[in-house]
Amino acid sequence: MGEPVDVVVVGAGSAGLAVSHELAAAGVDHTVLEKGRTGQTWRDRWDSFCLVTPNWTVRLPGGEYDGPEPQGFMLRDDLVSHLERYAASFSAPVREGVEVTALDAGPAGGLRLRTSAGEMHAAVVVLSTGAYQRPYRPAGAETLPPGLLQVDAEGYSNPHGLPPGAVLVVGSGQTGCQLAEELHEAGRDVFLACGRAPWAPRRLEGRDIVTWVAETPFFDTTLAELPNPQARLVANIQATGHGGGHDLHFRVLQAMGVTLLGHLRGADGQRAYFAKDLAESVAFGDTRYNDLRELIVKTCAGRGVRPPEMPDPPHFRADPPDSLDLKGFGAVICTSGFRPDYRRWVAFPDAFDDLGFPIHRDGASTVVDGLYFVGVHFLRKRKSSLLFGVGEDAAIVAGAIAARRTASIPGT
């Protein structure tokens, strides 16, 4: 009949560990299943990966950053070590190397998990499998030459791991910009197929942009406050923590010698074609910068403090080629974002919306009894998947599970 477990948390990343911490604090017995090792999603990032938000934003419940560089940006391995120490601090019941391959209704009620270690049956399952589940590739990528290496961002480790030659990076969010910079610094000719992404300066008057924005309502924006559900797929603000943190957006990349292009339309043989929309993509980012500037100014006025100087965006020269001969290129790296991947293994298709995001209320599925979610982009707020926002949702979900458990005990 499989192993009975009252509460199962799937995923031992920042979200899963935050839920585990809060469940433990509430006295709820549970098990955390992780297909790899603790913090595996972070382990899978490229070699030089570091946080884009300052270290002070690592605010997991009971696991806040307490090191000497709150304004620094932790490297990948340092963040993994932080998560390992966090899990050890409360003896998180993590079972590493156990992959959940399917989730469906239990034959006698509850939920059934099919795992690499056998079947498990639970009354409650919390899915904390990360905000970035399935790499998204634009349709045009399917027409690229089959002999040209194509990898997603999660398949990239460092410039030396790619064949020699120029590199086409498809996608210009945080990851695309950071990889374009790294490849350029390694001596590669880099071409960046750009889409719409917001940008902001790394620092304003000596303070990090995240510190300024955290004082506004920006990170508390809810899904209902967005113009439409698709808006939650807009890229994060272009920036980097590399080298102590610095500006990294279209103008910076263009000035350093990266060739900027419109979005990828497709390829015919060895020639790739790009839309004539680079200027529109830059204008989109400039509009988002102006929106952020207005929000910061408004917040400062409400607090009675002087706002920082935020000049108008400088002129941008947009005269990109509309096609590119890919002969001699070493690789194409797709960094066009991610999409939810629940439907591939969760046998409750009606539990997700048209974009694949869970249908829920405060993290609790409104379709499947006993199913919860944490760490999802815009689960409750913009910060729901971030290191300084996931703890808030984890506490709410753990509280609901604890109350559910109490209500099920006779006489309570």
CATH of the domain at 69: 3.50.50.60
Same domain, 126 and 141: no
Same domain, 156 and 300: yes
Residue 281 included in any domain: yes
Same domain, 166 and 118: no
Same domain, 331 and 345: no
Same domain, 327 and 351: no
Residue 412 included in any domain: no
Same domain, 90 and 164: no
At residue 239, the pLDDT reads: 95
Calculate mean pLDDT across residues 348-370.
96
Ranking 128-137, 268-277, 302-311 by mean pLDDT, the lowest is: 128-137
Of 282, 310, 337, the domain-final residue? 337
Residue 35 included in any domain: yes
pLDDT of residue 411 exceeding 70: no
Calculate mean pLDDT across residues 51-76.
97
Same domain, 103 and 209: no
The CA distance from 14 to 130, in Å, is: 8
The CA distance from 68 to 409, in Å, is: 46
At residue 336, the pLDDT reads: 85
Same domain, 192 and 235: yes
**How many domains does the structure of the chain reveal?**
2
Same domain, 364 and 327: no
Domain of 30 in residue numbering reads as 3-133+340-407
Same domain, 125 and 151: no
Calculate mean pLDDT across residues 184-213.
97
State what percent of residues in the chain have pLDDT above 90.
91
Of 303, 337, 371, the domain-final residue? 337
Count Cβ neighbours within 10 Å for each residue of 208-222 and write b for 16 or more, e otherwise.
bbbbbbbbbebbebe
pLDDT of residue 130 exceeding 80: yes
pLDDT-derived band at 410 (thresholds 50, 70, 90) equals low
**What's this model's pTM, rounded to 2 decimal places?**
0.95
pLDDT-derived band at 170 (thresholds 50, 70, 90) equals very high
* Long-range pairs of 380-386 with CB within 8 A, sequence gap ≥ 24: 380/222, 381/219, 381/220, 381/221, 381/222, 382/218, 382/219, 382/220, 382/221, 382/222, 383/219, 383/220, 385/15, 385/130, 385/131, 386/53, 386/57, 386/219
